[in-house]
Structure 1
Amino acid sequence: MHTNGGDLVPWDVTPLMGSSHLSWEVLLIIWEVPTCSGKFSPEYRKFPPVLRSFPTLQQNPLRPKRSTISLAVFFRRKIFRQIQPMTHEKNRIRKKWRDAHRERQRVLPIPKRIQWGPYNLDFPTFDSAGILELRKFIQELDNEANWAKPREHIIADIMESLRMSKTKSPLEIIAMVPSILPTSDGDLFLLNDSQALYDRLEQKFEKPLLHRASLSGNSLCGRKLTLDAFWKHLREQPNKTIDVYDYAVVEPTSRTRRLTVQEVLLHWELPTQERHALNLLEIENRIGDFCPTEIVQHDLHSKLSLLPPDNVGKTDSNWKNSRKEFFLLSGANAISSIHVDNGGQLTWILILEGRKIWYFPRKPTSDALRLLATTGSQCPRGYEEGWARVELCAGDLLIMPPSCPHAVFTPDDCLAVGGHFYTAAHLGSTLRGLKLQEDYPAICNEDLLPDFYDVLRSVFQNAHSISSSLQQSEILSSSCLFLDVLDVASLAPLFKANRRNSNSRGTTNQHSKVLKQLESKLTSHGCLPTNRPLFLDALESFQRKILEDLEDES
């Protein structure tokens, strides 16, 4: 029977009851098929054969010359009894798969991608040739760079690729992995928390570390300082002087000049659209410590300062914290061209307010340093695999390995704090970076000061007690850069003594030319003759002790 407008119309369902095509599912299909003079229209021929096997139904008396076919699928009881448990099992399996899928999504979520912010490199130059030159440089560098991709982003791309694919078999997924897995581990290491920072500092790394406060919800440094509070601190000493890098000066060697705090304040009070960028260089931090605890725990300078005293009490103690921090105050559109930081040290930077766009090579190798020495600080072309960039916002922490080339653009007024440090895991890298800076002083925008050699002398006098055997082996392999008898800087005293003591008039012009070249190279090393030998003595003593230990073990 079927219902049509409230009327019951009898059906002959005998063909339907015997149809094997309908034993797999229960269907309720209602179609209206218009007919003409009791004959079905062409649409009827499109129906599946099992539905076309129905007998012709009687004419609908309420709608002359039209038939309404209401098709219902009926099953014999024994077929329904067979299908019912199969349906329950199928639903159970489907529910189990859905639950497992939700659990996989919970346990293996796709990592969040960093959302980098916009910035504008088409800033006004105020008709200054110096600013125009730097703007051209930073635009060229930005064209060579892409947003840095940490390993987490690479994993997220792989997971998305596998999720979107139609591959189901585990073997098929494994077969797909080599084609979508990149060879790189990423452009930087992303830190999730303070423990991740501690673990990374325990080992050597060749790419920067980044903790993004917006991803974890908090900064690794609890102390905060705003620009307004910093200006208030500076106003208390209006006559003090600050080294300032002025981008409006055309000659690069003359851009660093000294201004009073009052002069800097007057410049900063101008509207943003009326003032060119100033970069206040390394203002000593006398407000309080901002350095994360994990860095202090790995800083060799801090470790060494704890070794000499016999007690840890403050009575009769002459211990002083020699670890220094500095503030970086940069106006909007300030630019730092490509350089490395001084003395083969690691560098940490914490943004307190504002933003910075930080550029670094995707492969910061010794070849990159030599290219920097050859092409100069304003040529970003030729670096292997190009450049990466990151956006640093308030609360973000960036740590760079020793001698990592980098350039910086400041899109907004920015206050940052930072410092330098040495770690046991990087002492080998420190030696290599220091030697490259000695050979190519132009790669750094600062001179090597006596303090660096004094600190390193103390480090290597105690390196056997603060480094592992693997780290000692790396130091040993790098020490030959300084202890080689053909090392130019090490031969300086010998050549100078030879020149003073030589009374022979038979010295050839070629010998004199070579000697002048060596002396010319040595003059770029600044204070090396006074402090460097003590550092070399400590390094040689360390090398000798390690070699003796290796002989004893064998």
Structure 2
Amino acid sequence: MRVDMTDLHRKKFDSYLESSRPRFSEDTYLEYVDLLVDSKLPQGSNLRTMQNRKRDIERNYTWEGGCLIFRRRRKVVRRCEFYDIIKEAFDRSGGLKETLFARHIRDNYKNITKKDVYKWLDLLPGRGASQSNPEDITEEPAQEPYGTGEESGTPSGEWSIQKLIDDFENYRWTKSLQSSRYYELIFWLHAILKKSKPADSSHLRCLTMDQATIELGEPRGSNKPILIRGDISATGLLKDIEGCLKDLEYTNKVDVQDLARRKDVTSAVSWPAHKVISRFKAAADRPPSQAPINILDLDCMDDDAVPRCFRSPKLKLLSRLKCHAGRLTQNSAKPWVKTEKWRLLGEGGSGTMAHWDHCGFFTWIRVEEGRKLWLICVLNDEDLEGFIRDGMYFTGGEWYYILLNPGDTLIMPPGWVHAVYTPVRTLCTGGNAWSQKCMGDSMRYIAHETEHIKVTNDDPIPDMPAMLERVSKWMKNAQPIDCGGEEQIQAFQEHYEVCSFFRIGRIIFLRVTRLLMVLNRNI
């Protein structure tokens, strides 16, 4: 009897094995046979060859005691543990069959240990039933710093926060930078870093990829940032800086944030691709007298770029709605395509000041190469008023820092004020999503952005009103359990009306202003 693999998209692999433990050795045996068939046969084999090979394996292999036994004439010829089967299957595979089981193993096999395998098979000696619940992640771990130390993988003596503060102090007296946006960034970061502390478990949750999947799927989560440390096997690092620069050779113009430009003009400019490539290849370390650049919104074409925890149907609201963006208005859906996944390539020294991400999005970011220093701010009601008033120059609140290394993924819920500093050349992959469970919270921050433009550093997306109108219609017809409960539905409708009021008021204001300008010209 073959396992019904369609259930795996709702359950973790571990919990599935726990629920099917009595029949595990019989039912999933055929899946391992499929792995062996797919890995040992050359690509392009016809169906008859595959059927014959599968029949031969089924006839000669038996599953006994967590091992696959190959017998010929009743003699044991080969004994394979599950661990060895997976290694062999994936080391030799030319293209495994796209089942959910195969996808799970493919994403994790590099990090599989025999201890993990025995846990899956329930063969670990002395393991009690109380230890076998992989879903239990409600208990908070003891508070430990995630900003520095071994948890962040920082090599000792390479650089520290104090050294960064000292460098900023020296940069502040560099006359060639004092009229630029970079000087403004340095001045602000210097003030923030002096008061910041390493983040611990009271400010964010340090989870595995599977735990983050469960947390993001809950009707009401903790609403704290989620840190996934070094889960390279689960996320799969997809690009390096050299590969990214090679992709730029096929483009003409690149959007660049040039921090050397004056404060009173926009920092976003278009550079020829060859100029950007030569700039990054010239020197890995930027001289202090030269302001850095950021390459913005690089296209991310990799299908596996989005982390597994963001592939849940509850986080696919934006994906389902973006196809209607071009139909509802005359604007194209292109801005929404780049919203779901993007890449950023920055020189050492670049960064952003205080902001929260626009449109009430959940934001995830993974470091592919280099490092990121992430600063998060914990606000009370008074601090929130100060942030709305001061925007990116806000220095109040309590600031905490996290150092992100290659393979680290950080997930920011909507409305969290943060800033970013890039100490070395860094390539990041990231994306945005709307969650069905907390659209009420997202709408609250969208209403703030409509009234106070300074709280975010992104331009508004043209189709936002049409998209929100469609979300509003969906929430009126949806079941409360599908969108976080009655409280979230009520909050969404309340803030949606406020947002519509300010949007209509702004349109009226612009039209009246234009009318007055025309009258002045006629007079």
Question: TM-score band, normalised by the shorter chain?
Answer: 0.5 to 0.7
Could you tell me which residue of structure 1 aligns to residue 269 of structure 2? 257
Q: Is contact 2:450-2:499 (8 Å) kept? A: no
Moved more, 109-118 or 428-437: 109-118
- Partners of 1:263 and 1:349 in 2: CA distance: 27
Are 1:426 and 2:438 matched, yes or no?
yes
- Distance change (3 Å), C-alpha of 1:110 and 1:146: closer
Q: Is contact 1:351-1:417 (8 Å) kept? A: yes
TM-score under structure 2 normalisation? Answer: 0.58
C-alpha deviation, 1:244, in angstroms:
1.3
- Partners of 2:504 and 2:222 in 1: CA distance: 30
Could you tell me which residue of structure 1 aligns to residue 214 of structure 2? 198
- Distance change (3 Å), C-alpha of 1:410 and 1:133: same
Q: Is contact 1:481-1:487 (8 Å) kept? A: no
User: Which deviations, in whole Å up to 9, do the C-alpha atoms of 1:184-243 show, x marking residues without a partner?
Assistant: xx0111112323333234234432111111xxx645412421111111111233x2x222
Could you tell me which residue of structure 1 aligns to residue 295 of structure 2? 280
2:420 equivalent among 362, 385, 408 = 408
- Distance change (3 Å), C-alpha of 1:441 and 1:322: closer
- Distance change (3 Å), C-alpha of 1:140 and 1:219: farther
- Distance change (3 Å), C-alpha of 1:321 and 1:282: closer
Q: Is contact 2:352-2:419 (8 Å) kept? A: yes
User: Which deviations, in whole Å up to 9, do the C-alpha atoms of 1:459-491 show, x marking residues without a partner?
Assistant: 332234365175332221342233269944345
- Distance change (3 Å), C-alpha of 1:246 and 1:366: farther
- Distance change (3 Å), C-alpha of 1:301 and 1:321: farther
Could you tell me which residue of structure 2 aligns to residue 128 of structure 1? 177
- Distance change (3 Å), C-alpha of 1:307 and 1:326: closer
Could you tell me which residue of structure 2 aligns to residue 329 of structure 1? 345
2:468 equivalent among 456, 460, 463 = 456
The alignment partner of 1:332 has SS state of: coil
Q: Is contact 1:282-1:326 (8 Å) kept? A: yes
Are 1:209 and 2:258 matched, yes or no?
no
User: Which deviations, in whole Å up to 9, do the C-alpha atoms of 1:130-171 show, x marking residues without a partner?
Assistant: 233322211111112101011xxxxxxxxxxxxxxxxxxxxx
User: Which deviations, in whole Å up to 9, do the C-alpha atoms of 1:82-141 show, x marking residues without a partner?
Assistant: xxxxxxxxxxxxxxxxxxxxxxxxxx9978764243444216746311233322211111
- Distance change (3 Å), C-alpha of 1:481 and 1:334: same
- Partners of 2:346 and 2:443 in 1: CA distance: 31
Could you tell me which amino acid in structure 2 is paired with residue 300 of structure 1?
Answer: K
- Partners of 1:260 and 1:477 in 2: CA distance: 46
Are 1:465 and 2:478 matched, yes or no?
yes
- Partners of 1:194 and 1:411 in 2: CA distance: 30
- Partners of 1:306 and 1:338 in 2: CA distance: 28
- Distance change (3 Å), C-alpha of 1:336 and 1:465: same
- Distance change (3 Å), C-alpha of 1:491 and 1:441: closer
The alignment partner of 1:267 has SS state of: helix
- Partners of 1:494 and 1:333 in 2: CA distance: 42
C-alpha deviation, 1:283, in angstroms:
1.5
- Partners of 1:414 and 1:496 in 2: CA distance: 41
- Partners of 1:454 and 1:347 in 2: CA distance: 22
Could you tell me which residue of structure 2 aligns to residue 18 of structure 1? none
Could you tell me which residue of structure 2 aligns to residue 231 of structure 1? 245
- Distance change (3 Å), C-alpha of 1:421 and 1:208: same
TM-score under structure 1 normalisation? Answer: 0.55
Could you tell me which residue of structure 2 aligns to residue 389 of structure 1? 401
C-alpha deviation, 1:357, in angstroms:
0.5
- Distance change (3 Å), C-alpha of 1:232 and 1:334: same
Could you tell me which amino acid in structure 1 is paired with residue 212 of structure 2?
Answer: A
The gaps in structure 2 that reach 5 residues or longer are: 1-138, 325-335, 518-523
Could you tell me which amino acid in structure 1 is paired with residue 225 of structure 2?
Answer: P
Q: Percent identity?
A: 22
Q: Is contact 1:302-1:323 (8 Å) kept? A: no
- Distance change (3 Å), C-alpha of 1:133 and 1:233: same
C-alpha deviation, 1:302, in angstroms:
5.5
Are 1:343 and 2:359 matched, yes or no?
yes
Could you tell me which amino acid in structure 2 is paired with residue 259 of structure 1?
Answer: W
Matching of residues 516-531 of structure 1 within 5 Å: none
The alignment partner of 1:445 has SS state of: coil
C-alpha deviation, 1:290, in angstroms:
0.6
User: Which deviations, in whole Å up to 9, do the C-alpha atoms of 1:57-106 show, x marking residues without a partner?
Assistant: xxxxxxxxxxxxxxxxxxxxxxxxxxxxxxxxxxxxxxxxxxxxxxxxxx
Could you tell me which residue of structure 1 aligns to residue 197 of structure 2? 146
CA RMSD for the aligned pairs?
3.6
- Partners of 1:378 and 1:256 in 2: CA distance: 19
Are 1:373 and 2:357 matched, yes or no?
no
Q: Is contact 1:377-1:443 (8 Å) kept? A: yes
Are 1:352 and 2:368 matched, yes or no?
yes
The alignment partner of 2:311 has SS state of: helix
Could you tell me which amino acid in structure 1 is paired with residue 388 of structure 2?
Answer: A
User: Which deviations, in whole Å up to 9, do the C-alpha atoms of 1:517-539 show, x marking residues without a partner?
Assistant: xx99xxxxxxxxxxxxxxxxxxx
Are 1:294 and 2:294 matched, yes or no?
no
The alignment partner of 2:393 has SS state of: coil
The gaps in structure 1 that reach 5 residues or longer are: 1-107, 151-185, 309-319, 500-515, 521-554
- Distance change (3 Å), C-alpha of 1:329 and 1:467: farther
Q: Is contact 1:220-1:397 (8 Å) kept? A: no
Could you tell me which amino acid in structure 1 is paired with residue 243 of structure 2?
Answer: A
Matching of residues 510-549 of structure 1 within 5 Å: none
Could you tell me which amino acid in structure 2 is paired with residue 282 of structure 1?
Answer: D
- Partners of 1:207 and 1:253 in 2: CA distance: 35
The alignment partner of 1:462 has SS state of: helix
Are 1:266 and 2:278 matched, yes or no?
yes
Structure exhibiting the larger radius of gyration computed from Cα positions: 1
The alignment partner of 2:275 has SS state of: helix
- Distance change (3 Å), C-alpha of 1:367 and 1:293: farther
Could you tell me which amino acid in structure 2 is paired with residue 267 of structure 1?
Answer: R
Could you tell me which residue of structure 2 aligns to residue 188 of structure 1? 204
Could you tell me which amino acid in structure 2 is paired with residue 483 of structure 1?
Answer: E
